[in-house]
Amino acid sequence: MSTANVITEQLTAAGRAIEHDSFAVIDREVASHAYTPAQWPIVRRMIHANADFDFNGLTDFHPRAVEAGVAAILSRSTRVVADVEMICVGLSAPRLGHFGMATHQFISDADVIETAKAEGTTRAVQAMRKAHRLGLINGAIVGIGNAPTALIELVRLIHEEGARPALVVGMPVGFVSAAESKDLMALENEVPWVVIRGRKGGSTLVVAAIHALLGLAEAQELTEKTSA
């Protein structure tokens, strides 16, 4: 029985060859790194997403982050809750579908917009609150790539309202509160996280990180089937 990933690979031989060659280039050009064998595929895919080698070093992991993310995916009962639609659109539907995963985002919902205006907050804050009210955050992989206020609100929900995501992929980009929001998330011990330190980030990096986790989950699934 083959142990090579299928669902989480490019669909054509040509596409697979380009992606694998790109990963090989990254491996060659990275002189060294301090990541574990489980963490490195995530960082490498993030570098691949935008050709920025700074993520070798800027990316930081809770000790249980990869384990928690893979376990959540393999449970086939998790979901992705995102701060913006771009993450939901960027994630591969077939890869998510293989693990029974759906995506959710509420940034443009009319009630979210109206409440944000009435309370003087951001849409991202209200979107996180709505996701929590609907019971979607607990056990979810929460991906935040655009709005630092979403990540700050998520930390508040964790501490004040008992929210318990399976994993937080916190990578908001920007110049106002972006670095601070990720530093705040990285102080959390009870909920696993992956963050990018500093100002850099973005939705494409969240997508890359989650795709890497899906690939790790498929590899573990195949290994378990082979050894059964």
The SS3 of residue 167 is strand
Q: How far apart are the first and last CA of the chain?
A: 11
Is 214 in contact with 5 (CB distance < 8 Å)?
no
**Which pairing describes strands 193-196 and 167-170: parallel, antiparallel, or unpaired?**
parallel
* Residue 48 designated active-site: yes
Are the C-beta atoms of residues 125 and 151 closer than 8 Å to each other?
A: no
69, HSE (Cβ side, Cα atoms, 13 Å): 29
- How many whole angstroms separate alpha carbon 7 and alpha carbon 204? 20
Helix (H, G, I), strand (E, B) or coil at 186: coil
CA gap 150, 174 in Å, rounded: 13
Which amino acid is residue 195, in one-letter code?
V
**Which pair of tokens denotes residue 45?**
């895919």
Catalytic one among 20, 33, 48, 159? 48
Structure-block tokens of residue 140: 């979810």
**What six digits make up the tokens of 14?**
């040509």
Amino acid at 22: S
- As annotated, the active-site residues are 48
